[in-house]
Chains A and B, each alone.
Chain A
């Protein structure tokens, strides 16, 4: 079946440093790839999605490229802020499918 593997947390950074959260996936389909973010006490919310291979998604300074050859979708940000502290989930869904497969989540802690 489909699976998503991402960086194990917590990831602890100082404000202003760069972030990379690795995400690798396995599927026999042509998936749409997602990054969701979850703040304390809330449900996950979409950060961005990329439906096509070799394209990049971005939002709020975060970005990731859908790399079909490497089956990867790594999340990056050049300069993190304390307000970025949250749990980040990589996920995929197949074309026309209803199920979404989530990674185990990566907790990011940013100190001022």
Chain B
């Protein structure tokens, strides 16, 4: 088994601020994902990474940057936080065994004042 750790658990930011969310996995999975979860809108893909140093844009990449410096970690940066923004950011990973199943972290809850 393995685990996905997301830090921080809660993030309060100011309008215009650059904010970074971190994700670590110990599954030794190749592929990692960042999703944004808004109430009533399901999960929307922001970025994914097939392997170390790879980055692929999802449907919601505008306003975000991502970084995959090593296999076990995947960071997401909100480049300029929007006032009154409130969402949960979920990190996930997927390996080669059961390769279509994603494993999710507990999420980072963002609130922008």
A residues contacting B by CB (< 8 A) are 32, 34, 41-46, 49, 51, 89, 93, 98-100, 102-105
Contacts and interface: CB of A to CB of B under 8 A. Distances in A.
B100 A41 contact: no
Given A46-B101, A93-B100, A100-B102, 20 more contacts: A32-B100, A34-B100, A42-B106, A42-B107, A43-B92, A43-B106, A43-B107, A44-B102, A46-B103, A49-B101, A51-B100, A98-B48, A98-B94, A99-B48, A99-B58, A100-B100, A104-B40, A104-B42, A105-B40, A105-B42
B100 A44 contact: no
Nearest to B88: A43
A49 B104 contact: no
The interface centre, meaning the residue of A34, A43, A45 with most chain B CB atoms within 10 A of its CB, is A43
A19 to B, nearest CB: 19
Interface in B1-60: 4, 31, 33, 40-43, 45, 48, 50, 56, 58
A43 B31 contact: no
Contacts of B41: 104
Contacts of B103: 45-46
A43 B100 CA distance: 17
Interface in B50-95: 50, 56, 58, 90, 92, 94
Nearest to A48: B101
B90 A44 contact: yes
23 contacts: A32-B100, A34-B100, A42-B104, A42-B107, A43-B4, A43-B90, A43-B92, A44-B43, A44-B102, A44-B104, A45-B103, A46-B103, A49-B100, A51-B100, A89-B42, A98-B31, A98-B48, A98-B50, A98-B94, A99-B45, A100-B102, A102-B42, A104-B40
Nearest to A32: B100
Nearest to A51: B100
Contacts of A100: 33, 45, 100, 102
A17 B113 CA distance: 43
The interface centre, meaning the residue of B33, B43, B101 with most chain A CB atoms within 10 A of its CB, is B43
